[in-house]
A and B are shown apart, each in its own frame.
Chain A
């Protein structure tokens, strides 16, 4: 139930829960991330049916007791796979298979008009859930402390982004730092982000990785071994993670209002955003980071990015930035598929560079 410093940990599946809300309730938010090549039990596979294998890996971990130390678990309706996982976890929880109750967080795309009203209610429920899980109330002092801590994370995140663009932080380092930060208390998160650095600036081919979120750095490592460097990304375990954004607030309702504003400004995530919104945001990110190509990677059964790719091409190719896709990635043949994609990126970038 509690960490070394005595604070409780609340698990999070999905990308829609602002860390500050959990911190203000006196808990550490820990994203459950999984992996590209997860162990999946037959039970988990059967229960979930055909979904992104990362979700099946998470269900396997949860049923295997790997996260029994959590004080609670919030599951975001930010993808079909996560909503399905929530339905199963609710049922399994009712059967006593989990040591904590599971809470849904359902933030509709847009978070404007009637959607904002719904989201507000959802955040309130999650705030109550977290406060009940920790047994500590959310008050002015805890809100301020959480805001201060998370804003330090935000500063460290900006420092890391600057290094990344300057070639002083690899994609693997950045992704690893993001992943670690999403699972740890603000102090450790800040340290992880600041530690992501290389002595020597490198000059490999800068690319933006688009598409499925990356539960671990396996693919980034393959890409960077192949002469690319991932200077930016548009998924929620990379630059699009909701991390380090603090709201100054004295009361929960003010915090929630501030979070709704942030929610509307966040980078659009593939499973819930429109392709055109994604293309605009990803193109801007690619240009800001100096990417010479975009690589869209999608796991098998995580189909949303595959519907984004045409819009991405329409937006980026006129600007001289080619888009390469590798779809339906699965554990089997993963290495070969990613290496082939890296080769294609180099060829496309060279052709585009020659044309510039």
Chain B
């Protein structure tokens, strides 16, 4: 057993401090932005506009148990409280009385910017734009067409070929529209050299994540709990394009390398390597540890580090076009068949996993294709269809028993 990762503790502490400073600045009159995860954050960084990512903020709102009260207030405004909650929660949080707001609440942003994923994100950001002091801007979301094979080998350099010129032309032009929109409202000018430097730092961060992922894939036994790598990867992701984020990604790599060199193991008797696909039940740490003793079975993989390794790097001379290439099909990489299944198989093989637990979420199309591709590669899959598994404990959903049975009956070595 090894203790909690320093990188994870440091990232979590940093994020809290950063949020306090951001909100203090906003209360003192600084313009801030709320952005969804697929909006081109780098433009805001280059223009010096602090931003909060709505999905991250939603996770804090949920973790602080403020979600239900906020959604009730949303319903009182005549808006649905059951729809796309990850985007709706930050909007709803604005309605909470001061004392109930997590971390003191998010001050009204000057800018609310989103990429139109799905049918309702645009309308949620439109609602942001109706709030006093906030204006909204929306970017188009084109469909994933074409979809050439093995995207992860090509997106960093050959993104033009992967996503296609028309899609990139459109998003690049819309990012230029966004730049002009922000310049007019802030009186600032985008420094394109600064944007290029931000892209360079983001790529460097992605390269460290790639090294970390590769190191963990090759390490026997596994040196860290997946639950530890998540904050250590995700917090720097929200600060992408800063020297701090590069340093955090580098420090994570070195901490993992140190552990590997020192022979650290979360389970020294590791015999079986498992991959968990789907939304993590990472709050339920017990679940991930409980197969160590009986089966020597260890969860070695999370999509958070893996997508940070493969999904973000984009090299190119024109930073705006490269930025368009980062976001034009970002979620396609994870969720669109056949990209999703090809990538999971690649990752499963690279990590030498003996079995996969696939929590099939209803928000992913073609989940069956993923299981099928893994099985075809000789990797047994346990599909768990527990759409509300996160609302109940994994124990209630019977997940531990099912995994144990799966290990006994289908996974060699367990």
Contacts and interface: CB of A to CB of B under 8 A. Distances in A.
Contacts of A328: 82
B362 A50 contact: yes
A3 interface: no
B147 A303 contact: no
A339 interface: no
A117 interface: yes
A117 B120 CA distance: 24
Interface stretch (A33-41, A106-114, A136-144, A225-233): A106-114
Interface string A94-121: 1000000000101011100111011001
Nearest to A43: B368
A173 interface: no
Given A118-B166, A327-B80, A49 B140 contact: no
B368 A47 contact: yes
B140 A109 contact: yes
Contacts, number: 114
Contacts of B368: 46-47
A308 to B, nearest CB: 7
A110 B116 CA distance: 12
A271 B127 CA distance: 15
Contact of A306 (B83, B127, B143, B173): B83
Contacts of A104: 143, 145
A90 interface: yes
Nearest to A114: B173
A106 B78 contact: no
A50 B142 contact: no
A86 B332 CA distance: 13
A49 B367 contact: yes
Contact of A114 (B123, B126, B174): B174
Interface string A295-324: 000000011101111100100000000000
Contacts of B145: 86, 90, 104, 106
B143 A83 contact: yes
Contacts of A88: 337, 365-366
Interface stretch (A4-12, A179-187, A272-280): A272-280
A106 B337 contact: no
A327 B120 CA distance: 15
A213 to B, nearest CB: 12
Interface in B24-81: 77-80
A110 to B, nearest CB: 8
B173 A274 contact: no
A313 B122 CA distance: 19
Given A114-B170, A309-B78, 8 more contacts: A48-B365, A49-B363, A80-B119, A83-B143, A104-B143, A307-B80, A307-B127, A328-B82
B230 interface: no
Given A49-B363, A88-B366, A115 B337 contact: no
A121 B79 contact: no
A79 interface: yes
Interface of A: 46-50, 77, 79-80, 83-84, 86-88, 90-91, 94, 104, 106, 108-110, 113-115, 117-118, 121-122, 270-272, 274-276, 302-304, 306-310, 313, 327-328
A108 B363 CA distance: 22
B387 A50 contact: yes
Contact of A303 (B80, B140, B174): B80
Contact of B119 (A49, A50, A304): A304
A84 B363 CA distance: 10
B84 interface: yes
A49 B361 CA distance: 8
Given A49-B364, A50-B387, A109 B119 contact: no
Contact of B142 (A91, A106, A308): A106
B377 to A, nearest CB: 17
B366 A91 contact: yes
A328 B80 CA distance: 10
A43 to B, nearest CB: 8
Contacts of A306: 79-80, 83
A90 B366 CA distance: 11
Contacts of B316: none
25 contacts: A47-B368, A49-B365, A49-B367, A50-B362, A77-B143, A80-B118, A87-B366, A88-B365, A90-B145, A91-B366, A91-B369, A106-B145, A108-B140, A108-B142, A109-B140, A114-B174, A117-B166, A117-B173, A118-B167, A118-B170, A122-B166, A302-B119, A304-B119, A306-B79, A307-B79
A91 B338 contact: yes
Given A109-B140, A303-B80, A313-B78, A271 B173 contact: no
Contact of A47 (B84, B124, B174, B365): B365
B170 A46 contact: no
Interface string B331-350: 00000111000000000000
